[in-house]
Structure 1
Amino acid sequence: MKNFIKIAPLVVALALVSCKKDQSADQLVIEQGAAPVAEPNIDSHEDMVKEAQSKPLTNIALSEAQFDFGKIKKGEHKEHTYEVTNTGKNPLIISQVKPGCGCTVPDYTKEPILPGQKGKITLKFDSSNFDGLVNKQAEIYANVEKAPIVIGFSADIQP
């Protein structure tokens, strides 16, 4: 019973923020009868920024901040890779890439990127639960002055 009590708030929280079928882009849908649950303070926005900026700061250049997949069929899995270049004097450390929705999964260069070198951030998108135009974003937490850096993509999902 004690384990159930510990797990129940997490299950409710996940249900509240999961992507829902036929919801419009970036819209949170709260289930009827579900009680709001406060998110734990672990990995709060402020904590992620502090962690990212705890290393010596550097500069970053992105190949692009926004990508358009164009028209895609509902249910397709798409991915796009953003190239990052360390334009500063200290190693670039990407501590986390946090997508705005569970339909997007990030992958990124985990080892420090030396000055002048390049790294990658890949966003993988599952279009199964969407129709029409969608815009998704992810936040990059790194040892740069203005963290997080926001990247995103759009798609026009066809039936």
Structure 2
Amino acid sequence: MKKTLSIIALSVIGLGLVSCKKENKEVAGTETSVGADSAATVTPVAGDSAVAPAGTPASNQPLTTIALSESNFDFGKIKKGDKVEHIYEVTNTGTNPLVISEVKPGCGCTAPDFTKEPIMPGKKGKITLHFDSTNFDGNVSKFADVFANVEKTPIKLTFTANIQP
């Protein structure tokens, strides 16, 4: 019985690793396009409180608003095996400190870095997404969910790339 359970557990873990390697298609509902010259803004309604759906990280900080330099980036053509990164700039457009509590990538091939300290009103912070193209071919679309003390969380950041052999 223990041997059977061990085999099942290893199979499930193995499938999770393979799914990231083979994922080349865009996930439905994950793209939010904002032109490079425009900004995406999330604004709370007065009197609302931050309530996140069950299972999602939530900040207990007062709500604020955020503007993104962009929410989608296209790396264009990159060579298979390249490790690339893009920095998404965020601006606190509200009156309370902006706290980014977590950035959750949709796949293990994407690793986030982000400003950990509170971003004061009017100030800027950064979210960097690092992408390893080793296990991909052709067009790919990836995302990361940003959890912060804004009304509509998570905020979805996306990027695309065309992986060349």
Aligned to 1:35: none
1:17 paired with 2:16, answer yes
Match of 1:47 among 33, 38, 55: 55
1:155 counterpart residue number: 161
User: In structure 1, what is the Cα distance between the partners aligned to 2:99 and 2:148?
Assistant: 6
Q: Distance in 1 between matches of 2:126 and 2:20?
A: 29
How much does 1:23 deviate?
Answer: 4.2
Could you report, residue by residue, the CA deviation over 1:88-147 in whole angstroms, capped at 9, with x for unpaired residues?
010000000000000000000000000000000000000000000000000000000000
Change (3 A) 1:65 1:73: same
1:13–1:140 Cα change, 3 Å:
farther
Query: Secondary structure of 1:24's partner?
Result: coil
TM-score normalised according to structure 2 size: 0.74
CA-based RMSD: 2.4
Q: Give the 3 Å change call, closer, same or farther, for CA 139–88 of structure 1 in structure 2.
A: same
TM-score normalised over the length of structure 1: 0.76
Cα distance between partner residues in 2 of 1:119 and 1:71: 28
Structure 1 stretches lacking a partner, 5+ long: 28-43
Amino acid of the structure 2 residue aligned with 1:48? T
**Shift of the alpha carbon at 1:59?**
0.2
**Alignment partner of 1:108 is 2:114:** yes
Segment of structure 1 superposing worse, 124-133 or 15-24: 15-24
Q: Which amino acid aligns with 1:76?
A: D
**Number of equivalenced pairs:** 136
- 2:143 counterpart of 1:141: no
1:117 to 120, 123, 129: 123
SS of equivalent to 2:56 = helix
Q: Is the 8 A contact 2:20 2:108 kept in 1?
A: no
